[in-house]
Amino acid sequence: MTHHGPQLITYADRLAGDLRGLRALLDGPLAGAFDGVHVLPFYPPFDGADAGFDPQDHTQVDPRLGTWDDVRALAAGRTVMADVIVNHVSADSERFLDVRERGDASPHAPMFLTLDAVFPDGVTEEDLARIYRPRPGLPFTVMTLGGRRRLVWTTFTPDQVDIDLRTTQAWDYLTDVVEALTSGGVRMLRLDAVGYTGKEAGTDCFMTPATDAYTARIVELAHARGAQVLVEVHGHHTQQIDIARSVDLVYDFALPPLVLHALTAADLDPLAGWFAIRPTNAVTVLDTHDGIGIVDVGPSDLRPGEPGLLAPEKIDALVEAIHDASGGTSRQATGAAASNLDLYQVNCTFYDALGRDDRRYLLARLVQLLVPGVPQVYYVGLLAGGNDTDLLAATGVGRDVNRHRYTPDEVDAALARPVVRAQLAALRLRAAHPAFAGEHAWHVDGTRATLRWTAGGEHVTLDLDVADATFALRATGPDGERTVLRHTDLP
């Protein structure tokens, strides 16, 4: 069964040590708050070059985290989501190591993309300049394959080698991955970096018609095995609307920057504009293991001439507001300051992005929980964590600023904080209240807004004012309406 209440997003190791520890946390102090959990890559090596998004063996559980039996136990009574890393594998995977040794003589050679696989008739400067990429430079790494120097396609890092979804070998591989995950109890598959798979000469190699065809094929594989599919794409907001028509779920990546803008500029109009057009088959987030998306609300080269949800000057003001609120630590972790140059994201915890203001932070979370969709809460966000500048300094990887490794004592201390207890109260309401199975309505008037869910005689209502971060969350219960949370509950 797939549940649609709140889900936790977490690395097993960074929150709870391993899969068993994660299950104990969800069944213990977090009981009743989450219907599901998105466990970030637990394949070997979970601590690789890109925190598990560079799998050497995508069909196995890293034994340091547990076994498939542990995944199945985690899935008892809740939905487990896992990543299908569609675009690439580790350069140290067994298949690619064989290609490195034997070149075209390897049976796996067709699975991996080289420059000439996409441009067999040669490539021009214009072809190369057109390729869309999340980081500066060209997406190729010089490697020796079977004694021959080749340009291998590496969209993200030289440790992650792109696969060619035009080949039988790639589909045999992806089918094995989907089969392993669904056999292990996983009922939601998140397609990671799928937008980059449809590389074709004469295009920008991003979100091409081939991408749509590959996505549809994976959706078919998943549905045949009882799983739903969530597509992860950062891009112009109209692309999310388009994608939502053909898959089970898309991310609402526009919500986080629009909520931040509302709370930092006391301006609800852009958020109201998004409410009017956003897809409702969405997974809502404030924070994730990646940065806070900016491309998702701005104009984009991917949709020339179409405006974004936020004007460029408002985006610039928002980015500066985040840097100021975080005391400059997000600036150290973002763009050219950090090695993983994610040009379209600001690397910062959501708590620091709001200056560690408990009231504004809780209000942001309440807005997320009352928007239609499946709310996902990142483990650092759940615990109202600040930027981990020590981890950033140790690794030089910008996104690590929002990937803290919690000790059990740190988890216990965070769970005792009023802002964390308030989030858990709101999550338990979202998971259990019958009104959320009904109709949603919203109204914006200047800096004030009301979000409301109604089913029969039951309702949940959030009244708020972004000018001063005042709010009241009210819900019906056995004894009539009660106030669940208000701004005065927090210092």
| 331 against 151, higher pLDDT | 151
Structure tokens at 36: 């599901």
Helix, strand or coil for residue 138?
coil
Binding site for substrate, by residue number, is 50
Q: Is a pLDDT exceeding 90 seen at residue 462? A: yes
Tokens of 361: 């932070």
What pLDDT is attached to residue 302? 77
Confidence of residue 340 (pLDDT cuts 50, 70, 90): very low
What would the two tokens of residue 187 be?
A: 């009922």
For residue 172, pLDDT over 50 is answered with: yes
Question: For this structure, is 27 an active site residue?
Answer: no
- Does the active-site annotation cover 232? yes
Q: Check whether 275 has a pLDDT greater than 70.
A: yes
pLDDT score at 234: 87
Whether the predicted model's global pTM rises above the 0.75 cut: yes
What is the tens place of the pLDDT at every residue in 140-153? 999 999 999 999 99
Q: Which residues are documented as binding site for sucrose? A: 88, 190-192, 232, 289-290, 342-345, 399
CA proximity to 290, closest of 190, 205, 361: 190
Residue 348: CB atoms within 10 Å:
30
pLDDT at 3: 56
Which candidate in 70, 83, 162, 232 is catalytic?
232
Whether residue 151 contacts residue 165, with contact meaning beta carbons closer than 8 Å, is answered with: no
Confidence (pLDDT) at 2: 47
The reported pLDDT for the residue numbered 337 is 52
Among 1-10, 64-73, 133-142, 482-491, the range scoring the smallest mean pLDDT is 1-10
Q: pLDDT averaged over the chain?
A: 94
CA distance 347 to 293: 9
Our measurement of the distance from residue 472's CA atom to the centroid of its chain's CA atoms, rounded to an integer in Å, reads 29
CB 69 within 8 A of CB 61: no
Taking only the tens place, the pLDDT of each residue in 377-424 is 999 999 999 999 999 999 988 889 999 999 999 999 999 999 999 999
Catalytic residue among 54, 70, 83, 192: 192
- Known binding residues: 50, 88, 190-192, 232, 289-290, 342-345, 399
* Residue 288, CA distances (Å) to 130, 220, 350 in order: 29, 27, 9
